[in-house]
């Protein structure tokens, strides 16, 4: 019986890309199947990632799409159940912390199908964050938990998760980054790719890359306006490139705030592909973002990152990496920006296990687990 791997949202795709081939490789390779819930469905949020990351077409697509959290989670659960009944997978493997992760894990565990969680144990300790709820619950019902940093083991121990289930393996997303970095898009190629040219001369280390999509930053029009105004001021210190998530684009338009990004050295783009993102990230002077994954990717690349949040579930990017928490206060953001521009910013070092081989380590554990060995 196969191991059923689940993806649903953009940040899942780069986590599964190297893991699936690692599981399937070798004489002792495990049968794997891929299911996409359909949580992210736009070409810019899905298709371009499958292509660039060379992820095979999913065996099953639940086609769920957007909705409230309850709608989205419930739809995924309802549609997954008959699939599991028919397939009877050996185990279900979920990554990260999106709604697709908890929805699928919950259906599987009730059917007695073992749940494997990759990127377990991260905690922001902020329960207003939907992802935090997904993390805590998924970890509680997982049989095998793979962690990216040591802090995760302590978090899981504190929540009573049996240590024997937990394996520190490093970061599968960084496997993908190392694998595809040589193919990262050049600035020239990126410029040609979009009809709207940058409103400034695009040069290596001559811009800051910005992303924004956390509900806490974009859903409240007053908070969003304050952040966009701050970005506009920041663009006078260094030009900005801002690929806008559909959720953010929607909120900006609905709140009538798009003028804050116009007639300034800010290049607003639609969501971009993985190789374009790698190209822009690795050549940026710095990154400003509220993303989870980008905190890790910038640390792996040694590019200074100012995280526009009050907390992080990835503390190693602060203690060892190139990341800095600055929150959403305009003065704090601009001060941190000025410091970074004058000092060159935090360089940091690469955390343990972020070496490109995390997928191999997971595959080794799962292969011996599948043979019935003690892991």
User: Among 21, 114, 221, 246, which residue sits at the site for ligand UD1 (rule: CB under 6 A)?
Assistant: 246
Instruction: By CB under 6 A, tell whether 213 contacts ligand UD1.
Output: yes
Q: In terms of CB distance, is 40 or 167 closer to ligand UD1?
A: 40
Q: In terms of CB distance, is 206 or 246 closer to ligand UD1?
A: 246
User: Among 37, 39, 289, 312, which residue sits at the site for ligand UD1 (rule: CB under 6 A)?
Assistant: 39
**Minimum CB separation from ligand UD1 for residue 152, in Å?**
17
CA distances from 215 to 81, 85, 233, 309, 317 (A): 29, 35, 22, 11, 22
Instruction: By CB under 6 A, tell whether 309 contacts ligand UD1.
Output: no
Instruction: By CB under 6 A, tell whether 148 contacts ligand UD1.
Output: no
Cα separation of 241 and 244, whole Å?
A: 10
- Interface with ligand UD1 in residues 91-110 (CB under 6 A): 98-99
Asked whether 60 and 32 are in contact (CB, 8 A), the reply is no
Instruction: By CB under 6 A, tell whether 250 contacts ligand UD1.
Output: yes
**Vertex 251, ends 248 and 255: CA angle to 5°?**
145
Instruction: By CB under 6 A, tell whether 117 contacts ligand UD1.
Output: no
Question: End-to-end distance of the chain based on CA atoms, in angstroms?
Answer: 20
**Minimum CB separation from ligand UD1 for residue 265, in Å?**
26
Instruction: By CB under 6 A, tell whether 40 contacts ligand UD1.
Output: yes
Candidates 7-15, 182-190, 313-321, 323-331; binding stretch for ligand UD1 (CB under 6 A)? 7-15
Cα separation of 329 and 100, whole Å?
A: 32
The SS3 call for residue 5 is strand
Q: In terms of CB distance, is 99 or 124 closer to ligand UD1?
A: 99
Element (H, E) at 36: strand 32-36
Q: In terms of CB distance, is 178 or 249 closer to ligand UD1?
A: 249
Which are the catalytic amino acids? Answer: 213
Candidates 33-41, 103-111, 203-211, 295-303; binding stretch for ligand UD1 (CB under 6 A)? 33-41
The conformation of residue 280, written as its DSSP 8-state character, comes to H
Strands in the chain per DSSP E: 3-7, 32-36, 60-61, 91-95, 115-118, 144-147, 166-168, 208-211, 240-243, 266-269, 286-289, 305-307, 323-325
Asked whether 33 and 56 are in contact (CB, 8 A), the reply is no
Q: In terms of CB distance, is 41 or 200 closer to ligand UD1?
A: 41
Cα separation of 19 and 175, whole Å?
A: 9
Q: Rule CB under 6 A: which residues touch ligand UD1?
A: 9-11, 39-42, 45, 66, 98-99, 130-131, 213, 245-247, 250
């Amino acid at each position: 019986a196969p191991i059923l791997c689940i993806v649903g949202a953009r940040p899942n795709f780069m986590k599964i890309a190297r893991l699936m081939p690692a599981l399937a490789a070798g004489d002792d390779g495990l049968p794997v199947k891929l299911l996409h819930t359909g949580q992210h469905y736009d070409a810019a949020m899905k298709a371009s990632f499958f292509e660039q990351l060379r992820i095979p077409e999913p065996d099953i697509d639940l086609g769920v799409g957007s909705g409230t959290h309850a709608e989205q989670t419930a739809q995924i659960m309802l549609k997954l159940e008959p699939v599991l009944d028919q397939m009877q997978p050996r185990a279900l493997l979920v990554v990260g912390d999106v709604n697709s992760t908890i929805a699928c894990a919950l259906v599987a565990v009730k059917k007695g199908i073992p749940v494997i969680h990759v990127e377990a144990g991260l905690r922001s300790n902020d329960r207003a964050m939907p992802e935090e709820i997904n993390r805590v619950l998924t970890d509680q019902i997982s049989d095998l938990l793979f962690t990216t940093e040591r802090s995760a083991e302590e978090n899981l121990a504190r929540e009573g998760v049996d240590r024997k289930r937990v394996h520190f393996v490093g970061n599968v997303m960084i496997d993908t980054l190392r694998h595809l970095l040589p193919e990262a898009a050049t600035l020239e190629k990126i410029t040609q790719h979009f009809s709207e040219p940058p409103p400034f001369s695009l040069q290596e280390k001559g811009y800051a890359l910005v992303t924004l999509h956390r509900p806490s930053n974009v859903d409240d029009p007053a908070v969003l306006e304050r952040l966009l105004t701050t970005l506009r001021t920041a663009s006078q210190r260094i030009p900005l490139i801002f690929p806008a998530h559909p959720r953010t684009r929607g909120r900006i338009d609905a709140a009538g705030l798009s003028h804050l990004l116009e007639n300034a050295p800010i290049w607003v783009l639609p969501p971009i592909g993985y190789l374009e993102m790698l190209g822009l990230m690795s050549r940026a002077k710095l990154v400003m973002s509220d993303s989870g994954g980008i905190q890790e990717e910038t640390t792996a690349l040694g590019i200074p990152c100012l995280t526009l949040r009050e907390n992080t579930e990835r503390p190693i990017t602060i203690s060892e990496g190139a990341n800095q928490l600055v929150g959403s206060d305009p003065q704090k953001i601009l001060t941190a920006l000025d410091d970074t521009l004058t000092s060159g910013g935090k360089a940091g070092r690469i955390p343990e296990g972020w070496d490109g081989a995390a997928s191999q380590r997971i595959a080794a554990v799962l292969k011996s687990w599948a043979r019935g060995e003690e892991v």
